[in-house]
Amino acid sequence: MIISHDVSGSGPAVVLLHSSVCDRRMWDAQWQPLVDAGYRVVRCDFRGFGDSPLADGPYSDTADVLALLDHLGIESAALVGASHGGRIALTAAALRPDAVRALLLLAPGMPGHQPSETLRAFGGREDALIEAGDIDGAVELNVETWLGPEADETVRASVRRMQRHAFDVQEEAKFGPDREEVDLSLITAPTLAVGGAHDVPDFREIAAALPGLLPNARHLELPWAGHLPSLERPEETTALVLDFLRETAPAR
């Protein structure tokens, strides 16, 4: 199965990979500016998110993304990944270094990361709410946990819609994605790892640690950001993405 996706523009390929709190709509504000800047822009929904149906057997989000690149005839792309999408971007870059030209990671997860007590406590609260049938409560927990102080009510409403849709779809899920273990030292792409000062410690620490794990990476922490900077300050994040792409994957 080829996962649901949008494609627009021409030029070097840029693939936008969403957080597990959202779906591909989280990139609405970045979509047209990237196209206008001369890029062929792709955004996709992982299985069980947005318009991509649940899997009917074991699967890998990373394999789905790489299959999408092959389907679109993209030999090499810059990957922009948020949270879970950042973990998928890292995994793809380790498995297929030739296919990944650059990596911009916003509050990324990381293959093999062991969650802190803070993150495990969040997961426990979310599980308890879902088991009690309080899906609205689980949605609000995610909104309050993952959005920083810059997020206005419009952004919060958008995240509510995306997270609620994911919960509703995934209620029937029989399979979760495989978790690949990879050697991050195999990544050759220039990388910018971005953390948010208001984020959960796990993701701040992952972003800060990546320059010590990758051969060509640097770290930036945004003092205003929570876990989803592309939604919290979309224009500023778009400018950050474009500056990085002009440096590492310039449009012709």
Tell me how far apart the alpha carbons of residues 155 and 239 are, in angstroms, rounded to a whole number.
19
CA 173 to chain centroid, in Å, comes to 21
Q: What was the pLDDT predicted at 196?
A: 98
Beta bridge partners of 82: 106
Q: What was the pLDDT predicted at 41?
A: 98
Cα 72–230–152 angle (5° rounding)?
Answer: 140
Q: What was the pLDDT predicted at 130?
A: 94
Nearest Cα residue to 46 out of 62, 58, 57: 62
Question: Domain 5-248 is in which class?
Answer: alpha beta
Tell me how far apart the alpha carbons of residues 234 and 228 are, in angstroms, rounded to a whole number.
10
Tell me how far apart the alpha carbons of residues 84 and 232 are, in angstroms, rounded to a whole number.
17
Q: What was the pLDDT predicted at 241?
A: 98
Tell me how far apart the alpha carbons of residues 46 and 63 are, in angstroms, rounded to a whole number.
11
Q: Tens-digit pLDDT profile for the chain (252 aa)?
A: 899 999 999 999 999 999 999 999 999 999 999 999 999 999 999 999 999 999 888 999 999 999 999 999 999 999 999 999 999 999 999 999 999 999 999 999 999 999 999 999 999 999 999 999 999 999 999 999 999 999 999 999 999 999 999 999 998 877 778 788 899 999 999 999 999 999 999 999 999 999 999 989 999 999 999 999 999 999 999 999 999 999 999 997
Q: What was the pLDDT predicted at 92?
A: 98
Domain positions in the chain are 5-248
Tell me how far apart the alpha carbons of residues 161 and 142 are, in angstroms, rounded to a whole number.
12
Q: What was the pLDDT predicted at 181?
A: 85
pTM: 0.96
Nearest Cα residue to 234 out of 84, 109, 82: 82
Q: What was the pLDDT predicted at 174?
A: 78
Contact 147, 228 (CB under 8 A): yes
Q: What was the pLDDT predicted at 210?
A: 97
Nearest Cα residue to 90 out of 186, 13, 231, 203: 186
DSSP one-letter string for 123-148: HHHHHHHHHTT-HHHHHHHHHHHH--
CA dist 242 → 9, 77, 135, 181, 207 (Å): 15, 14, 37, 30, 19
